[in-house]
């Protein structure tokens, strides 16, 4: 079933972007071809750009501590599986300790690598990492699968604690919501929001085979969803049929 996440604030938006980029990095690192390792490295450098623009470490530590406090209040609750609760608490503790051990700025070891930073600078130019522009990079690509993968793993390792913390927080966030089956008449749905604890993200699930996708505009007061179709020749057009979908509002 196709699923779409929509964040309501910049912090969750950053977490989702890092999650998406890391999934692509890890997939391409595990591959073998030099083109896939090229994609892995350029995506890793994109992650570094995101880290540079935000106070991710402090945000993550603050949220992990807050979630641990919330989880502690659930001890002894008969509706909560004790073993699962303890497993989550252990994950939070491990992720928190890993973030605290490294005192330098996230990604600092990559920033001090002059060769990587030269690749990053050239990568911002269309076609800027051709072999005649950066012969050292194409020498690296030709070193072989094992050598490239080892280097990529070494460059990734300092960012793994950040990734693990984000995955824990997003898993808790996605599991926090209650799903509701709804219908969008003529491809449009609106809902007012309220309550003392505003949603931080919404999740939309659409049945397989429904040829449309959602575009969302939302704030803490209201949600507007418009389902569109795509013909690959012009900008998306409104889907004029009723759409059955599942909406989940998530908050931490």
Strands 213-218 and 237-238: unpaired
Q: What is the mean pLDDT of residues 128-137?
A: 92
Give mean pLDDT, residues 151-158.
95
Report the pLDDT value the prediction gives residue 21, as an integer from 0 to 100. 97
Tell me the CA distances in angstroms from 120 to 34, 46, 90, 105, one per residue in order: 17, 9, 36, 18
pLDDT surpassing 70 at residue 25 = yes
Instruction: Write down the domain spans for the chain.
Output: 9-171, 176-250
CATH 3.90.1150.10 is right for the domain spanning 176-250: no
**pLDDT tens digit string along 29-54?**
999 999 999 999 999 999 999 988 76
pLDDT tens per residue, range 98-118: 999 877 888 888 999 999 999
The answer for 144, left when phi > 0, alpha when psi is -120 to 50, beta otherwise, is left
The answer on pLDDT for 184 being more than 90 is yes
Rounded to the nearest angstrom, the gap between the alpha carbon of residue 180 and the centroid of all alpha carbons in its chain is 24
For 226-245, write each residue's pLDDT tens digit.
999 987 777 888 999 999 99
Does pTM surpass 0.85?
yes
Encode pLDDT of 83-92 as tens digits.
888 999 999 9
CA 68, distance to chain mean position in Å, is: 21
Q: Which fold would CATH assign to domain 9-171?
A: YacF-like (1.10.3900)
By C-alpha distance, which of 247, 234, 237, 231 is closest to 187?
237
């Amino acid at each position: 079933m196709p699923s779409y996440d929509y964040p309501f604030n910049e912090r969750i938006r950053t977490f989702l972007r890092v999650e998406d980029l890391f999934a692509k990095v890890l997939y391409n690192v595990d591959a073998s071809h030099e083109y896939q390792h090229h994609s892995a490295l350029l995506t890793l450098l994109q992650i570094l750009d995101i880290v540079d623009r935000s106070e991710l470490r402090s945000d993550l530590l603050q949220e992990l501590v807050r979630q641990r406090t919330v989880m502690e209040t659930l001890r002894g609750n008969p509706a909560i599986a004790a073993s699962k609760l303890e497993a989550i608490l252990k994950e939070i503790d491990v992720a928190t300790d890993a973030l605290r051990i490294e005192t330098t700025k996230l990604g600092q070891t990559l920033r001090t690598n002059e060769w990587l930073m030269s690749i990053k600078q050239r990568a911002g130019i269309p076609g800027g990492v051709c072999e005649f522009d950066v012969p050292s990079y194409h020498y690296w690509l030709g070193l072989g699968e094992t050598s490239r993968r080892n280097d990529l793993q070494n460059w990734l390792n300092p960012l793994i604690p950040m990734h693990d913390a984000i995955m824990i927080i997003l898993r808790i966030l996605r599991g926090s919501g209650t799903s509701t089956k709804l219908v969008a008449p003529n491809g449009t749905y609106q809902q007012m929001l309220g309550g003392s604890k505003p949603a931080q993200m919404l999740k939309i699930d659409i049945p397989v085979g429904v040829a449309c996708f959602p575009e969302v505009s939302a704030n803490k007061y209201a949600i507007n969803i418009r389902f569109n179709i795509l013909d690959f020749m012009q900008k998306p057009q409104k889907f004029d049929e009723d759409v059955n979908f599942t909406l989940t509002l998530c908050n931490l």
